[in-house]
Chains A and B, each alone.
Chain A
Amino acid sequence: MKQLSLRLLGPLTLVLMGLTFWLGLWVTPPDKIQGNLARLVYVHPAVAWVALYVSFGTATIASALYLWRRTRSQVMDRVAHCAMEVSVVFILLTLITGSIWGRPTWGVWWAWDARLTSTAILGVFALAYLALRRANDDPDLRARRSAVFALLAAINVPIIHFSVQWWKTLHQGATVFTANRTLLIHGLMAWTLLISFFAFTLLFFWLLRARYRLEVLRGERYQVVLDEALVQRRREGVR
């Protein structure tokens, strides 16, 4: 059952992604004010959702579980590492899609807006996490330090979430719901938006799975190389 669901993950992601783009680009109507530019709403919020909450959240939870002695395992460290790598891609996509929308709307590719700036800082945090991993050779120390760093970096996520309320800069507030949970988007547009959230979330898990498998293979390969080196060394000792 588990194997079947894992095998279905890829095709299901592709189907939902295809559906999102078909509905978003051809079926849904253009916006009354923003025209076709509004179609970015089927990409940007979903990508940001994955970047901030799903991928960074996965990395943070896996890091916390690694630091907790009862659940400490190499699996948690690998999941945190892989999720953070995928997170970098999604944060970058969030900034790029936001910029594409910002240029015609605000007149600039980049603004010193609280949400944009804090998201960019999160991106630097994610890159720093990867740099930190590369700087440590000892696997246990690397895992511990990376886990602590991921927890520290996660403090930025609620700051990004509430930035539009705390600072009231250029970036708009809630787009899908109002403050009292009333839906602002209706009909086919709402369904397309919902599908896009599912599609990009599945895409994240698909990428995470692929990256995780690669990491496991790399670990196995390292072990094989290490074993071969040890055998070679023993042979040299016998001679």
Chain B
Amino acid sequence: MIRTALLVAAKDLRIERHSRVLLWQVLPFGVMGLVLSGIALGPTHAGHSSAGPGLFYLVMLLVTLLMINRSQAIEGSSGTRASVATLGLDPAGVFLGKALALAVELWITGVVLLAGAVLVLHTALVGTLQALPSVVLILAALAAAGTLYGALSGGGQGPATLLPILALPAFAPLLIAGERSFSASLHGATLWQWWVISLVALAAYLAIGILLYGVLEDS
């Protein structure tokens, strides 16, 4: 299973490196999202760092939706699914691999957007750096959940409008946990309960994905 996971993750990341969709499309979209959030709040509120954590995670959710669609579209191209089925790859391994690749892409995006939050939304640098471990954890949970919901929405073959309605309600608790832990870091506190919730969510989505990912695939 681990071997399959690493193979699938390496394949997805290699495709991403060659296509450069993350670099030229997703990252600029995320940065634009942060800037637009600041504009929407207005100069008085945007300069107030208390809105930073929430806006950062809101933009990350939108980026995650884009990335999930992208990740599933790779599998949706003609013949890919048939090839995977013929090879008899372990669905749990495929799930873990896709989740890992998505997590790596989200971590890269997250680091860039955190820098953007410091610059544009004036979140304190030290607090933002302290929030990094919780951001990594939340984004990993988002990647696991996103891979699952991506497959549910049709794995790149279903309508693109379906994914947001399926995934966003499930992302809401992660948004809350992320925003709370990020805000706590900015105020020099550590809210360990949000860490526990994030870890439980990550473990739960990984377990469900490992058990049920195969059920979601075309037979």
Contacts and interface: CB of A to CB of B under 8 A. Distances in A.
Nearest to B218: A141
Interface string B143-179: 0000010001110001100100110111011000000
A159 B173 contact: yes
Interface stretch (A15-23, A28-36, A130-138, A173-181): A130-138
B154 A136 contact: yes
Contact of A140 (B165, B208, B219): B219
A60 B168 CA distance: 20
B191 interface: no
A135 B159 contact: yes
**In terms of DSSP, what is the predominant structure of the interface of chain A?**
helix
A159 B172 CA distance: 12
A132 B215 contact: no
A144 interface: yes
B219 A132 contact: no
B162 A135 contact: yes
Interface residues of A, number: 25
Contacts, number: 53
Interface in B20-75: none
A148 B215 contact: yes
A124 B168 CA distance: 9
A128 B216 contact: no
B152 A148 contact: yes
B202 to A, nearest CB: 13
Contacts of A135: 153-154, 158-159, 162
B98 to A, nearest CB: 16
A140 B162 CA distance: 19
Contacts of B216: 144-145, 148
B215 A67 contact: yes
A12 B2 CA distance: 57
| Residue of B162, B169, B216 contacting most chain A CB atoms (<10 Å) | B169
Interface string B79-112: 0000000000000000000000000000000000
Given A152-B170, A152-B208, A131 B165 contact: yes
Interface string B172-201: 110000000000000000000000000000
A155 interface: yes
Contacts of B153: 132, 135
B219 A141 contact: yes
Interface in A48-107: 67
A151 B166 CA distance: 13
Nearest to A124: B169
Contact of A121 (B158, B166, B172, B219): B172
A144 B215 contact: yes
Nearest to A117: B172
Given A135-B162, A152-B148, 18 more contacts: A67-B212, A67-B215, A122-B169, A124-B169, A127-B165, A131-B166, A132-B152, A132-B162, A132-B166, A135-B154, A141-B218, A144-B215, A148-B152, A148-B212, A149-B152, A151-B208, A152-B170, A153-B170
Interface of A: 67, 121-122, 124-125, 127-128, 131-132, 135-136, 138, 140-141, 144-145, 147-149, 151-153, 155-156, 159
Interface of B: 148, 152-154, 158-159, 162, 165-166, 168-170, 172-173, 204, 208, 212, 215-216, 218-219
